[in-house]
A and B are shown apart, each in its own frame.
Chain A
């Protein structure tokens, strides 16, 4: 009897490998043998496939069915192979066209009634299929929107196994069934607010714009109710639109995390705000079987906001040091290493002390000096060292609230225009380098003739270095901030004024 062949995709992180599914029917007592390193969920495909085929009017023969997943040494996880296994088995039995099945990648989990369930991670899987040279992908109808985001591929959405078999040439009457749809995720932190909503704190508003223009990480320190969360939630709105490639990467990571792309590819940068009880695995990603992306990977090309940063577990915070440095998260397990992009902008927010009132004008702080030190000491030096902007945020007073009605406030749209111009001039200057934003530039470039500030402008900074007020690394960070301030002002090189303001942004918080 003929051997049926189909293809599916095995995902490891965002990388996908093509898995060939072979099915052979031999004249022996009825059995369903699945070989090629399946995990428990995949091993159960045997029962799902047999029931689904029977209930779709395409019963598998009462013979021995051997299904082999190759490459045999690659561990395979999950239920996404069901459709491929079923099609290979039906092809081996001659119920559908063998050639047609072998040309196409099949993705989907089967229900016992023969309907296809949507999968997590359909976007990276379809991308991998295209990269491997396949032009057609059969996906569950519930994943059709997401699969269609990938350019250059023909997506065939099917509601049931019967529909898929008919597409491959089975002579059956279609039976209309209701398609199974993915669950709608619950809403996250709202990032649609406008910058003009922020009252007072002009320094912090300016600091957020500098952060957006230069890609700098931010540390906001202030009492409860000062507007730290409000400021952080407005940062994604200030960032430029994602490029098509970045948008696809962001959607792929979200797809892998089980958040389907709805209504097309979003070109807005994501905002992730994990709760402070999050574990290290929740932040960077993990899992023993399927390695899932954590909050830091989901925030790639966007903003990772850690509210109440000192309350996070030290291990979770320090796990961020690698992605902050390299822009990539590598999660290693015994069987494999998954890599996720993690070039995000970090926003840390903290109260100044356990009670939150230290240093504020309108509250009484009863914390001991030791308690305050211990509280802020939970943010490790190496982590804070990677944060360029440190900003105090204050509660607004009644006077400021009254005055705010007359004062002009910058809208997100206007601020973004200014930021786009600054980013464009930075990108133009850094054209010949691997960097695109000031925050990523290496120290050696800052001291080269093309990267150095205007002559004599660094006098104040040099003095601070001589006095030991800042380290050499801090010196470079001030220069990077000065470049961003200069870009925002439209000047060709940072002057003494820019250096002074950069020092303030760096040193404002205690």
Chain B
């Protein structure tokens, strides 16, 4: 596994643990369809939450949230729709973003933004 994929996987694990601790329940992890992949799908009360996780080891090349572009958000929305078609009766949905800044050998900083779209 390449170093960047390893960092990404670590970030997703950290984000998942953070969200589960906040009382969300996990529905899907790395859900795939022909259009792409959703990092995390969770349930928060009566809402289904689609989460894009972005991980960086430092902010030297910008904050991880800055890497979530409008095009990426648009794709995430198409993916959310595909997930809903595959799982009828999902109810209300929302899209969140989680930034993980995980420097080597230091505790990670996690930022969670709700309703980014």
Contacts and interface: CB of A to CB of B under 8 A. Distances in A.
A26 to B, nearest CB: 10
Interface in A87-111: none
Interface of B: 63, 65-66, 68, 73, 97, 99, 113-116
Contacts of B115: 28
A28 B70 CA distance: 12
20 contacts: A27-B113, A27-B114, A28-B113, A28-B115, A28-B116, A29-B65, A29-B68, A29-B73, A29-B97, A29-B113, A29-B116, A30-B63, A30-B65, A30-B66, A62-B63, A62-B65, A62-B66, A62-B99, A63-B65, A63-B113
Interface in A152-187: none
A382 to B, nearest CB: 60
Interface of A: 27-30, 62-63
Contacts of A63: 65, 113
Given A27-B114, A28-B113, 18 more contacts: A27-B113, A28-B115, A28-B116, A29-B65, A29-B68, A29-B73, A29-B97, A29-B113, A29-B116, A30-B63, A30-B65, A30-B66, A62-B63, A62-B65, A62-B66, A62-B99, A63-B65, A63-B113
A27 B111 CA distance: 10
A29 B114 CA distance: 9
A27 B117 CA distance: 11
Contacts of A27: 113-114
Contacts of B65: 29-30, 62-63
A77 B85 CA distance: 49
B10 to A, nearest CB: 21
A27 B99 CA distance: 13
Nearest to A62: B63
B71 to A, nearest CB: 12
A27 B68 CA distance: 14
A30 B114 CA distance: 13
Nearest to B112: A27
Contacts of B73: 29
B67 to A, nearest CB: 9
Contacts of A29: 65, 68, 73, 97, 113, 116
A308 to B, nearest CB: 59
> Which A-B residue pairs are the 9 nearest by beta carbons?
A62-B63, A30-B66, A29-B116, A62-B65, A30-B65, A29-B68, A27-B113, A28-B116, A29-B65
A30 B66 CA distance: 6
B55 to A, nearest CB: 14
A409 B114 CA distance: 86
A29 B62 CA distance: 13
A62 B99 CA distance: 11
Contacts of B63: 30, 62
A63 B115 CA distance: 13
A369 to B, nearest CB: 75
A62 B61 CA distance: 13
Interface centre among B68, B113, B116 (most CB of A within 10 A): B113
Contacts of B99: 62
A2 B68 CA distance: 25
Contacts of B114: 27
A29 B116 CA distance: 6
A234 B43 CA distance: 86
Contacts of B68: 29
Nearest to A26: B113
Interface centre among A27, A29, A30, A63 (most CB of B within 10 A): A29
A49 to B, nearest CB: 16
B98 to A, nearest CB: 12
B116 to A, nearest CB: 5
Contacts of A28: 113, 115-116
B18 to A, nearest CB: 16
Nearest to B116: A29
A28 B116 CA distance: 5
Contacts of B113: 27-29, 63
Contacts of B97: 29
A29 B73 CA distance: 10
Nearest to B52: A29
A55 to B, nearest CB: 15
B65 to A, nearest CB: 5
A62 B112 CA distance: 12
A60 to B, nearest CB: 11
